[in-house]
Structure 1
Amino acid sequence: MTTVTHSIGRTSPSEAEEKLVRVYIWEWPVRIAHWVIFLSIVVLSFTGYYMYAPFITSRGSGAFLMGEMRFIHEVTAFVFVAAFLLRVYWFFKGNKWARWRQFLPIGRYQWQGFIGQLQYYLFVRRKPEFRMGHNPLAGATYSMIFALMLIEILTGLALYNRILGSKVLGFFVGWLPMLISIRYLREIHFLIMFAFGAFVIHHVYSAVLIGIEERSGLVGGIFSGYKFFSESRIKEDASHE
């Protein structure tokens, strides 16, 4: 950790006198998974919407364009799956801010943070809940997003295997068409795309908002991995481990 000698952001008088400490929060697997998932969702949404409702036409090559879109969609989908699996693995392997406990409001301290952050978004309180990693409300939201990602992966693989006919893939997702018709699997797969789009908009907005409130380098942290905290806040976070 590196000590920073200048004060950053909105702090209390006592905190303003403290040195800020640079803390390595987001490890490289977290950052790589984050950006690969984001870029994959952008590509998958574009190609997926085109496959659902073609909006680009090219004389004499429409069929080839659809084939190219499908190919890009399928390759990107496997990149997305790889990034998802990396992040799931890091739920158990990573530091304390990357582990699964950060994503479930278990324990009194987590529930207090969940309610406090909800009150902040509802304009009931003036300042957000302080956490060095994810605040509990954000963590719970990410849990739901990861659940949607899993559903998107399963439905996508089930649709893909209708064409591929792989026995290995069928072992993992062959049960889905037995429970839900292909028509509805396709609709579920398509509609979740819009949920991801809405989440991205809110995620960017809330990251900028909380970054301004905390002045801890929240937005820059997803690039560098580092955030900045006063020593008193680091001790506060450590006291709840």
Structure 2
Amino acid sequence: MSELKYYTVWDAGTRWFHWINVLCVTALAVVGVVILNAGDLGVAKAGKITLKTVHVWIGYVFVFNLLWRFLWAFLGNRYARWSAILPGGRGYFRALRRYAAAFFSAQPEQYVGHNPLGRLSVALMLLLMTAQAITGLVLAGTDLFYPPFGQWVAQWVATPGIAPETLAPYAPEMYDAAAYEAMRAYRKPVAVVHLYSSYTLIAVIVLHVAAVIITELREGGGIISAMFSGRKVINGHPMDDESDSRD
């Protein structure tokens, strides 16, 4: 019988990113749904502006947290780095086929870090979150004239004689009609990408959570608890084992 070993896996930087991201994505989704249904819910113009302001400020936390994760992929431990969280590299597809074949066998393969299938999930989520971050910043500028693009948008749409820095959202009397319509046409595809990438991200997150639970049941190892403690307990020999383990 194989002995149990503790493996240090998720460092503090990775764990902080994960849980801040969970809170941000949840809050953004809830506020976003309310904004989308503001008319049916009877939310007044002032209330909608407040909701969008809250959404933007949470979005800033989300963006800075995502940037932190990108930086930490260069600075964190081996399981936090790009080479361990993104698909690819020598032998990756062979490892993916082997992992998939072994998953439903009597001896599924175990990994300390992300398994080959999990790396595909991480890559997709990071891509979708990046799309959300970029499009969200553009929409913050076009809706509320918030940084980093808000000043440029305000200069674009301000009616002659109105100082761009004084523009308020939902105040058409302050906007040049033609410029505002052009800005809204520019904004429309960005808003579509933001909306549907958010739906896709939520769907991928649901699949990710389900996959984590199924993998925990099939392989053990404390996958869920490791995102709190930073350590996995594995019975057997992980495919990505190295010397940072102890009995």
Give TM class, smaller chain: 0.7 to 0.9
Q: TM-score, normalised by structure 1?
A: 0.77
Report the counterpart of residue 214 of structure 1 in structure 2.
Answer: 219
Considering only aligned residues, what root-mean-square deviation do their CA atoms show, in Å? Answer: 3.0
Q: 2: distance between equivalents of 1:222 and 1:167? A: 33
Q: 1: distance between equivalents of 2:240 and 2:189? A: 49
Counterpart secondary structure, 2:5: strand
* Deviation, structure 1 residue 169: 3.6
Q: 1: distance between equivalents of 2:226 and 2:100? A: 23
Q: For 1:172-199, what per-residue CA distance to the aligned partner results, in whole angstroms no more than 9, with x for missing partners?
A: 99xxx99x93111101101111112111
**Structure 2 residue 15 is matched with structure 1 residue 31:** yes
Are the equivalent residues in 2 in contact too, given 1:113–1:137 (CA < 8 A)? Answer: no
Q: 2: distance between equivalents of 1:195 and 1:56? A: 24
Pair member with larger Rg: 2
- Which residues of 2 match residues 130-141 of structure 1 at below 5 A? 130-141=110-121
User: Which residue of 88, 102, 105 corresponds with 1:105?
Assistant: 88
Q: How many residues align?
A: 213
Counterpart secondary structure, 1:181: helix
Report the counterpart of residue 238 of structure 1 in structure 2.
Answer: 242
* Deviation, structure 1 residue 236: 6.2
**Structure 2 residue 36 is matched with structure 1 residue 52:** yes
* Deviation, structure 1 residue 113: 2.4
* Deviation, structure 1 residue 157: 0.8
> Residue type of the partner of 1:213?
R
Q: Structure 1 regions of 5+ residues with no counterpart? A: 1-12
> Residue type of the partner of 1:106?
G
**Structure 2 residue 110 is matched with structure 1 residue 142:** no
**Structure 2 residue 209 is matched with structure 1 residue 204:** yes
Measured at CA, do residues 236 and 163 of structure 1 come closer, stay the same or move farther in structure 2, by a change above 3 Å?
closer
- Which residues of 2 match residues 1-241 of structure 1 at below 5 A? 13=1, 15=2, 18=3, 20-54=4-38, 57=41, 62-102=44-84, 103-108=86-91, 110-119=92-101, 125=105, 127-163=107-143, 165=145, 169=149, 181-230=186-235, 233=237, 237-238=241-242
Q: 1: distance between equivalents of 2:152 and 2:226? A: 37
Measured at CA, do residues 235 and 162 of structure 1 come closer, stay the same or move farther in structure 2, by a change above 3 Å?
closer
Are the equivalent residues in 1 in contact too, given 2:141–2:148 (CA < 8 A)? Answer: no
Measured at CA, do residues 166 and 213 of structure 1 come closer, stay the same or move farther in structure 2, by a change above 3 Å?
closer
Q: 2: distance between equivalents of 1:238 and 1:51? A: 48
Q: TM-score, normalised by structure 2?
A: 0.75
Q: Structure 2 regions of 5+ residues with no counterpart? A: 154-181
Measured at CA, do residues 62 and 120 of structure 1 come closer, stay the same or move farther in structure 2, by a change above 3 Å?
farther
Q: 1: distance between equivalents of 2:120 and 2:240? A: 22
